[in-house]
Structure 1
């Protein structure tokens, strides 16, 4: 952990601070003059400065402290600075706090307040370093993901989406079937397109078939094709989806709705790569990458005798389980803005409403809401009323959207003596989450 630099010409002050802080495992270095302090800052890892306001004998104006603070700000704009002040130049210290100093402590100082202030500032500095490192790593990961793969223009900001997209691109390279599961409206077909676009057959066709949109007696003809006269109205031969997808990817959406007879035929093709058109005795051969999707509970359908277990294992070479929109809340606003036409933007309260809503219909519902809101908005700003969302009860909100209010936060800070890490743990928050709430509510950190 970086050390604390005490800049004070009085050795007794430096010794007292070093003793107090060392009892709490905090390293302290001392500089007896502004010049020495600036030199140490250039050569050592310092996380916080405690500086006096006067350095020369018989000087009480505080002008030296003001000059030192401005030099610190010029060379180290993000370094937190605590001022040690006497009542005679309290006004100067207050002016410096307005200029960016984090706090001032009157001599003689209160040990409890000084420790709480120092701990909070060191924790905040560490949290900022952690956040910067996290953002840097996140930026590098996303640049690699975006730069090295075709994501088909998908819009995302949440870590859960990034993880799933990275997995989709990874499994795309393997020549095995992929089963995409998740609630309706989560973008299963988009993920199927991503798997195809990053696979070895990406130059081939991508053919989609919604198994749930066809009558049971037409499924076989749709999958495998039919010769002329195979059924009433079949006046000429027709190509099935397997033939159309030869050399590429066949996407079977809502595969859980396939009738058992169709499941048997599909299983045979997956095992042999060969099939016959309806009404034909001639076998045909294809090479097709299978990606399937369902919102159904296939193991439950297997237990009920409505889905073949051997087909399930053939389709489920690897599973991509897409989370609902409520489980990836950082995607909500980027998607909402993406769905708005040019010239329209969200108002602040509308943004908060979108983030609080549970989105049972997932991305599809969000797209429909934004398209409707764009039509209803009378000017460029989309309001809450334009969204037309129902009132949301606390019980209906997505997990993690409720948060402690001002009274709960202030009570926790009081119980923990102002130490933010302890208060955050008591409130069930990370330090960064507590810092954000303090800033939003205007609660002082000391």
Structure 2
């Protein structure tokens, strides 16, 4: 059963609130003083705290309530707190909401409003707890991988990326071809490097070639090497990537761009380990682990006759799928922070992301995936002022920052307040789920509803 602790020196308040909550299947604990309340809090699993702001007849400043809130926040930083205030304590209550309190209600309270606030906060608390447990589980899985495998400084928070990473580590030591699929900029070469680093040939070279960057004749020469005079401009013999990668790993990116003639030769190398340089009859041998990647639909290319079916099945012994960044949004902010840490600025200090820029990053569609995010952070690190990155610094063309709406005065708005742009971006990123948007902005659900009303933003639900 959900449990709420009530701390108020007026027994009548404690009794009334306890009865109201019990009628809605919520267990209530009552404490008449801060000391007793802290004792109950230490001994019980509490989902929400309702506390008074004043515990002394000698003063109405709310200082006692502030001191209690600070002690609760220090010991239980994630516990939602509702403040019960008199009008004389309103300013203090507002300050505590900015410091992390979930909400405040004036005495005498409205039962319907109080219950709505409680239900919303309990729902948000439960969602937050589930999210934290999920993050802890992912963090433990990632730590277990780091203890067993070489992952270097890879950033991973999402289930989708973690699942791909676990599979990559699992198959790394198998001497089989691996096909890595996913959109451009999603990190396919990074996954290939991790497979190599944890393979049986990790001590050998890791050679990468983008098959989409060269015309057909030059691509074959890059792969298999060429003798002098084999093609126009070939003034001397040169080794190919298969020779350079002997004893290690060859990563072929954009494998769908390999011409049919090159596909036949590649198939032969995969099956026999033998090949000839262009312009040579001498057969050479190589021991290479081949990893390939593509953003194309190779099965559709097979059906269209532009990619050999036998080569497709030879390359696709093991497939690793990389989801686009838009489908693993848990990775966005950690990746952004990672790229910022590596960015060089004129001030030689690490820039910080503002609340609005975080919301803009979460709201963006990321058609260019991780590569686009990396470039956006490099740009923002150079353009931001006073070390604080704002949405305009990111240069995200598909994320338009809306103008201030009704009730939003850009010149007088408190700098700690999320802007209308940040609120709208967070709602967009959460798919209209207010509790998730509130969590991203660091607000309670009710606090976010008040800002939506102030900015003239309609409830998405």
Same fold, judged at TM 0.5 (above): yes
Residue 99 of structure 1: how far off its partner (Å): 5.1
Q: Is contact 1:370–1:387 with CA below 8 Å preserved after alignment?
A: yes
Q: 1:67 to 1:139 in 2, by over 3 A?
A: same
User: Would you say 1:341 and 2:344 are equivalent positions?
Assistant: yes
Q: Deviations over 1:79-122 (max 9, x none)?
A: 5555668xxx7635875675567535535x53323322332343
Structure 1 residues without counterparts, runs of 5 or longer = 395-400, 408-422
Please give the residue correspondences for 1:391-406 in structure 2 after superposition, counting only pairs within 5 Å: 392=398
Separation in 2, partners of 1:387, 1:92: 41
Deviates more, 1:348-357 or 1:161-170: 348-357
Answer with 1 or 2: which has the greater Rg: 1
CA RMSD of aligned residues (A): 4.8
2:321 is aligned to: 321
Distance 2:245 2:152 in 1: 19
Report what 2:456 is aligned to: none
Assess if the C-alpha contact under 8 Å between 1:211 and 1:253 holds in 2: yes
Q: CA deviation at 1:191?
A: 2.6
> Residue 198 of structure 1: CA displacement?
2.0
Give me the TM-score of the superposition, normalised by structure 1: 0.71
Match of 2:457 in 1: none
Matches of 2:35 and 2:392, distance apart in 1: 60
Does 1:186 pair with 2:186? yes
Q: Assess, with a 3 A threshold, how the Cα gap between structure 1 residues 99 and 247 changes in structure 2: closer, same or farther.
A: closer
Give the corresponding residue for 1:106. 107
Alpha-carbon offset, residue 314 of structure 1: 0.7
**Count of matched residue pairs:** 414
Query: 1:209 corresponds to which residue?
Result: 209
Structure 1 residue 126 displacement after superposition: 3.2
Distance 1:266 1:342, change over 3 A: same
- Matches of 1:147 and 1:160, distance apart in 2: 20
In the superposition, the TM-score normalised over structure 2's length comes to: 0.69
Contiguous gaps of at least 5 residues in structure 2:
408-426, 454-461
Contact 2:230–2:279 (CA under 8 A) maintained in structure 1? yes
1:16-415 alignment to 2 at 5 Å?
16-31=16-31, 36-50=36-50, 70=67, 73-74=70-71, 77=74, 78=76, 79-80=79-80, 91=88, 95=92, 98=95, 102-104=103-105, 106=107, 109-146=109-146, 148-151=148-151, 153-154=153-154, 160-226=160-226, 238-278=238-278, 283-329=283-329, 330=332, 333-334=336-337, 337=340, 340-343=343-346, 345=351, 348=354, 358-365=365-372, 390=397, 392=398
Identify the match of residue 434 of structure 1 among 438, 441, 457. Answer: 438
Alignment match, 1:411: none
CA distance 1:427–1:113, change in 2 (3 Å): farther
